[in-house]
Amino acid sequence: MSPDAVAQYLQHNPRFFEDYADLMAQIFVPHPHGGRAISLPERQMITLRDKVRSLEHTLADLIETGRSNDALSNRMHALNLALLSAATEAPRRVIAMVEARLVEDFAIPHTAFRIWGLDAAGAAADRVIALDDDLARVVASDYFKHPYCGPLAGLEHDGVPIGERVGAWFGEAQGHLKSAALLAVRAGAGGGLLALASEDEHRFYAGMGTLYLERLAESLGAVLTPAAAGTDGAAAPAPAG
């Protein structure tokens, strides 16, 4: 009989060792962690202990993940409260507050934001300037339906070198950035692109969870939506191109 046939026979005949109980004490197998031989019941106990130990490690990982998620959820809640408090502020103040929170509370070292269709007078700032028309078109499309996470190098869509242009927003730090998260912020007929970047290639990566990034983009867009109407209350134009 082949080993597979023996294993299949034992699986289909669970009473075998009840009928041949003495046989279990006569069978010796190699110890999984050493060279000595041990009885079949002892080998089974070792297997069960290894499984329990593995389950304990898995449970510890789940508990640690839960604690991390709770801490992240609390920081996001605090950020949303701060956004609500800043809802009547000028866009540049709202964005400056968000950038400061991302650095202090989330340890994101590099942030940049570019806009379109917002009140230009209220949003004028060194790091909050108009988005290029063709890049604004890509940001407003379904390509950025969900946040992008991964390296900037080589990132392009529809002929627009997204990674190259966004990387330039970070000045001298561009050459040191290994990963980034790009969030499309939609504010009425306007909006923008929020870029978060890091020197750690594992900080933002393809396939990571983006729930909190999506909620951040939605919250920021909701607060900035009134500014998209312009100072005269008229609707702001959509990006050219």
**Secondary structure letter of residue 108 according to DSSP:** -
The four Cα atoms 169, 170, 176, 181 give a dihedral, to 10 degrees, of -70
Q: Residue 42 CB: number of other CB atoms within 10 A? A: 13
The Cα-based distances of 120 to 117, 124, 228 in angstroms read 8, 6, 9
Query: What is the pLDDT at residue 53?
Result: 92
pLDDT band at 115 (very low <50, low <70, confident <90, very high): confident
Selected residue with higher pLDDT from 169 and 226: 169
Q: What is the DSSP string of 161-226?
A: -HHHHHHHTTGGGGGG--EEEEEEEEETTEEEEEEEEES-TTTS-TT---HHHHHHHHHHHHHHGG
Q: Where in the chain is the domain with CATH 3.30.450.40?
A: 86-229
Query: What is the pLDDT at residue 227?
Result: 63
Query: What is the pLDDT at residue 152?
Result: 94
Query: What is the pLDDT at residue 241?
Result: 35
Rounded to the nearest angstrom, the gap between the alpha carbon of residue 165 and the centroid of all alpha carbons in its chain is 22
Pairwise CA distance, residues 155 & 162, whole Å: 6
What are 21-45's pLDDT values in tens digits? 777 777 777 777 776 777 777 778 8
Pairwise CA distance, residues 194 & 99, whole Å: 10
Phi then psi for 132, rounded to 5 degrees?
A: -55, 145
Q: Residue 58: pLDDT above 50? A: yes
Spatial contact of 241 and 139, defined as CB atoms under 8 Å apart: no
What are 154-166's pLDDT values in tens digits? 999 989 999 999 9
Q: What is the DSSP string of 139-167?
A: HHSGGGSS-EEE--TT--BTTB-HHHHHH
Q: Residue 111: pLDDT above 90? A: yes
Query: What is the pLDDT at residue 26?
Result: 74
Question: Considering only the top CATH level, what class is 86-229?
Answer: alpha beta
Spatial contact of 112 and 195, defined as CB atoms under 8 Å apart: yes
Q: Which residues contact 237 (CB under 8 A, 6 or more apart)?
A: 117, 189
Pairwise CA distance, residues 211 & 66, whole Å: 15
Query: What is the pLDDT at residue 3?
Result: 84
What's the average model confidence in pLDDT over 140-153? 92
Reading the block at residue 110, the tokens are 């590099």
Q: Residue 200: pLDDT above 70? A: yes
Question: Where would I find the beta strands (DSSP E) of 31-178?
Answer: 37-39, 110-116, 128-130, 148-150
Q: Residue 74: pLDDT above 50? A: yes
Instruction: Determine if the pTM surpasses 0.75.
Output: no
Per mean pLDDT, which of 11-20, 75-84, 184-193 is the most reliable?
Answer: 75-84
Query: What is the pLDDT at residue 114?
Result: 86
Query: What is the pLDDT at residue 231?
Result: 37
Secondary structure of residue 30 in the 3-state scheme: strand
Pairwise CA distance, residues 135 & 163, whole Å: 11
